[in-house]
A and B are shown apart, each in its own frame.
Chain A
Amino acid sequence: MIRNPVHLTLALLAVLGLVALPAASNLEAQGSKGTIKIATQSPLSGGQAALGEGIKLGAQLAVEKFKGNLEKMGYKVALVPYDDQAKPDVGVANAKNIIADKDILAVIGHLNSGVAIPSSEVYKEVSLVMISPANTNPVVTDRGYLNVNRVCGRDDVQGVVGSEFAHATMKAKSVYVIHDKTQYGQGVAEFFKTDAEKKGIKVLGFEGTEEKSNFDPIITPIKAKNPDVIYFGGIYDQAAPFFKQAREKGVRSKFLGPDGMDSSDLTKIAGKAVVGMDYTSAAGPASVLPKAKAFVEEFKKKFGKNPEPYAAEAYDAATVALKAVDAAVKGGKVSREDVATAVRKTKHSGITGDIEFDSKGDRKKALYFVLQVVSDDPAKWGDNKIVKQLTISPPEKK
């Protein structure tokens, strides 16, 4: 049974009564009450893997750090990562596997709203709680499901933060809006556009595209119209080549985008073209959150790289999930519904600030930022300058 020399030594010491076995080795203790699993769902492969991997690692760190309590109670705790490939069909298929595994009591995910919304319909069938670190589309929580929560902000606020910034700080008179035709990208672009028009900014174009490599024919009319600002509602793997080709073609407009821009891969792909561009974020960069310093250090030490955006949110989301499971377990037998109810009641002072959910699952006070890219070196993504920081409550349900 005991093959590992370290375990052998520990066992011998224990026999000699010299040391009490640490809690961690309770894993092999008799009378285990079963396993509790926390699942993550995020793109671990493909063009958005950088962010998706960050979500997984953030959650992993939280689970390793806070599982002790549950282990003391005799449970095994495990993190099970799923790769949703940023595709709705894959997310839903994974979700079906997840609900079939009775040990899974919470899901941390997704990255993409367009994946989270259909997947959470599956979780809802069994009241499995989902805590999202990154899904900003309003629909995610506006459906009013008990099991759906998020620790980040909302696009109807984020889009307005962007248009307000374009109006007041960038002094834009005209904008051109591009989006990626996904629920997230088009959604935030529409909120941006509507509010920009209200503020008297002229919207010279509103264009959706699924193109990934050749943006020439889209850029040509933009260049001719010469808008003050180009807003890209989408994600960095598509926006970066667009910005790069636009600059190469001599477009001089300023660039602006939502939190989909928030990855070091943006500068890795677009280089100098995006230096000085601004983007809004519904999640704070770990580098500016005072309580996240220790987290950043630990993350670097363990995984050998800087946490990507949303890693801190995933860490907080997983911590809240574990806390809720803790609370639910105290009542004896754990059901998924108990955990979902417990999450809504949980108050947690996390590294991204105080977390408390309202009746829809939105965070009562969410943070919004406007950031500026400072360097074309991807390693310096964490140094991006905060231009503006806001704390805003979710809008009242219409």
Chain B
Amino acid sequence: MDYPLLLGIFPQVLLDGIILGFMYALIALGYTMVYGVLEFINFAHSEIFIVGAFVGVEILLSLRSAGVLDTLPWPLVLLFVLVAGMAISGALAVTVERIAYRPLRTAPRLIPLISAIGVSFFLQDLIRLVESIWRNAFNLVYPTMDQLNYRFELTETIDVPVKSLVVIAAALAMLWVLHVIVNRTTIGTAIRAVAEDQAAASLMGIDVNRIISLTFLIGGAMGGAAGVLFGVQYGLINPYSGFIPGLKAFTAAVLGGIGNIPGAMLGGLVLGLLEAFAASYLSLLTAGAFGAEYKDIFAFSILILILIFRPKGLLGEVVRGRA
């Protein structure tokens, strides 16, 4: 076995895993917040996530065709794109809730779930339709900003591109903001109150519908930001790109303990790291017998093991607790 090689790539794999993990964590927040408040899984969240990526690519492409992409300072462009992605994904999440979930709120648990799956398919093909008319394209390429691709070479095999640092920084910043909103503000208190008991919260003068909309807005905005970061990091998106990351993020939310915000983060990181290590090391450790294609099988086997011993997730399910 080639030990220097195995050790040599370790930091790079760790970094890859952390980036993927934060991506999953940001998406997982959307699932977990909605679940915390409504005990309902919003399966359309994977499309709300990818809409953020499409908003980002459309803005960047327009800036490029206007010829100003390379002259504007890149942190400003990125910030603007992030905010726009968050705004539109957030608004979309609120709209979806208003149209497809609110009328079904008193219906049996499975009904809004089916509605969510329907919305997911609808949005996928809507994006496909719009993009095929508007750009006549299926795959859209994120325009590269050279500064974002700059790499700090640490050693022969390890380097850290600026964009990966941006992804991590943005993810951490957003998680912190979310933490503050939920735990330190009146709005956060209201969200937690609605999560605990809708009827009692409304008796205390909280507008429950507004708070639920707000929860979707925040979750959707996080998803939109994740979408932009996903596009920046991996460079290529299509209308179906959201599905698999969405599914993984949902798994991450369950792994961390659905309904639990720090749990979503932890679950995302664990899943991202498991996947990265499986994909990079499986083939090296088994001399090619199991390749990177087994990464999901490996990662999900570990997940099953964890959930057998901790059925409520790593940090425990916080139903009726914090949002």
> Is B197 an interface position by the 8 A CB rule?
no
> Is B127 an interface position by the 8 A CB rule?
no
Alpha-carbon distance between A218 and B281 when the two chains are bound, in angstroms = 9
Give per-residue flags for A99-123: 1 if the beta carbon is below 8 A from chain B beta carbons, else 0. 0000000000000000000000000
Residues B293 and A216 in contact, CB atoms below 8 Å apart: no
Enumerate chain B residues within 8 angstroms of A269, measured Cβ to Cβ. 139, 141, 236
Alpha-carbon distance between A208 and B20 when the two chains are bound, in angstroms = 20
> Is B9 an interface position by the 8 A CB rule?
yes
Residues A214 and B293 in contact, CB atoms below 8 Å apart: no
Residues B151 and A250 in contact, CB atoms below 8 Å apart: yes
Alpha-carbon distance between A214 and B234 when the two chains are bound, in angstroms = 6
Give per-residue flags for A155-167: 1 if the beta carbon is below 8 A from chain B beta carbons, else 0. 0000000000000
Residues A207 and B293 in contact, CB atoms below 8 Å apart: yes
Among A45, A213, A223, which residue has its beta carbon within 8 angstroms of that of B234? A213
* Smallest CB separation, B254 vs chain A (Å): 21
The CB with the most chain A CB atoms within 10 A, among B8, B12, B292, is that of B292
Binding site for B on A (CB under 8 A): 45-47, 49, 181, 205-214, 216-218, 220-221, 223-225, 237, 240-241, 244-245, 248-250, 265, 268-269, 271
Give per-residue flags for B228-270: 1 if the beta carbon is below 8 A from chain A beta carbons, else 0. 0010011111100100000000000000000000000000000
Residues B12 and A209 in contact, CB atoms below 8 Å apart: no
Residues A207 and B138 in contact, CB atoms below 8 Å apart: no
- The majority secondary structure among interface residues of chain B is helix
Residues A224 and B157 in contact, CB atoms below 8 Å apart: yes
Across the two chains, which residue of chain A brings its CB closest to B294? A208
A225-B241 contact given A244-B235, A248-B149, CB 8 Å threshold = no
Among B12, B235, B295, which residue has its beta carbon within 8 angstroms of that of A220? B12
Interface stretch, picked from B203-211, B272-280, B312-320, is B272-280
Residues B236 and A241 in contact, CB atoms below 8 Å apart: yes
The CB with the most chain A CB atoms within 10 A, among B128, B132, B157, B279, is that of B279
Alpha-carbon distance between A181 and B296 when the two chains are bound, in angstroms = 15
Residues A213 and B241 in contact, CB atoms below 8 Å apart: yes
Enumerate chain B residues within 8 angstroms of A224, measured Cβ to Cβ. 5, 8-9, 157
* Smallest CB separation, A40 vs chain B (Å): 19
Interface residues of B, count at CB 8 A: 43
Across the two chains, which residue of chain A brings its CB closest to B163? A248
Interface stretch, picked from B29-37, B90-98, B188-196, B283-291, is B283-291
Across the two chains, which residue of chain A brings its CB closest to B241? A213
- Closest 5 pairs between A and B when the two form their complex, measured CB to CB: A217-B279, A216-B16, A213-B234, A241-B236, A217-B280
Enumerate chain B residues within 8 angstroms of A241, measured Cβ to Cβ. 234-236
Residues B236 and A218 in contact, CB atoms below 8 Å apart: no
A217-B292 contact given A224-B8, A224-B157, A241-B234, CB 8 Å threshold = yes
The CB with the most chain B CB atoms within 10 A, among A49, A221, A250, is that of A221
Residues B288 and A206 in contact, CB atoms below 8 Å apart: yes
4 new A-B contacts, CB < 8 A, other than A216-B19, A220-B16, are A213-B237, A217-B277, A221-B5, A269-B236
Residues A207 and B291 in contact, CB atoms below 8 Å apart: yes
Give per-residue flags for B141-160: 1 if the beta carbon is below 8 A from chain A beta carbons, else 0. 10010000101010001010
> Is B13 an interface position by the 8 A CB rule?
yes
Alpha-carbon distance between A241 and B141 when the two chains are bound, in angstroms = 9
Residues A205 and B283 in contact, CB atoms below 8 Å apart: yes
> Is B161 an interface position by the 8 A CB rule?
yes
Across the two chains, which residue of chain B brings its CB closest to A236? B139
Residues B236 and A210 in contact, CB atoms below 8 Å apart: no
Alpha-carbon distance between A46 and B124 when the two chains are bound, in angstroms = 12
A45-B138 contact given A220-B13, A224-B157, CB 8 Å threshold = yes
* Smallest CB separation, B314 vs chain A (Å): 22
Residues A216 and B141 in contact, CB atoms below 8 Å apart: no
* Smallest CB separation, B260 vs chain A (Å): 26
Enumerate chain B residues within 8 angstroms of A206, measured Cβ to Cβ. 288, 291
Residues A209 and B292 in contact, CB atoms below 8 Å apart: yes
Residues A216 and B288 in contact, CB atoms below 8 Å apart: no
Enumerate chain B residues within 8 angstroms of A217, measured Cβ to Cβ. 13, 16-17, 275-280, 292, 295
Residues A216 and B235 in contact, CB atoms below 8 Å apart: no
Among B139, B159, B295, which residue has its beta carbon within 8 angstroms of that of A237? B139
Among A49, A211, A218, which residue has its beta carbon within 8 angstroms of that of B138? A49
Residues B5 and A225 in contact, CB atoms below 8 Å apart: yes
Alpha-carbon distance between A263 and B174 when the two chains are bound, in angstroms = 40
Residues A214 and B20 in contact, CB atoms below 8 Å apart: yes
Complex A-B: 22 CB contacts under 8 Å: A45-B132, A49-B138, A205-B288, A212-B236, A217-B13, A217-B275, A217-B279, A217-B280, A218-B280, A218-B292, A220-B12, A220-B157, A221-B283, A221-B284, A224-B5, A225-B5, A245-B234, A249-B159, A250-B153, A250-B159, A269-B141, A269-B236
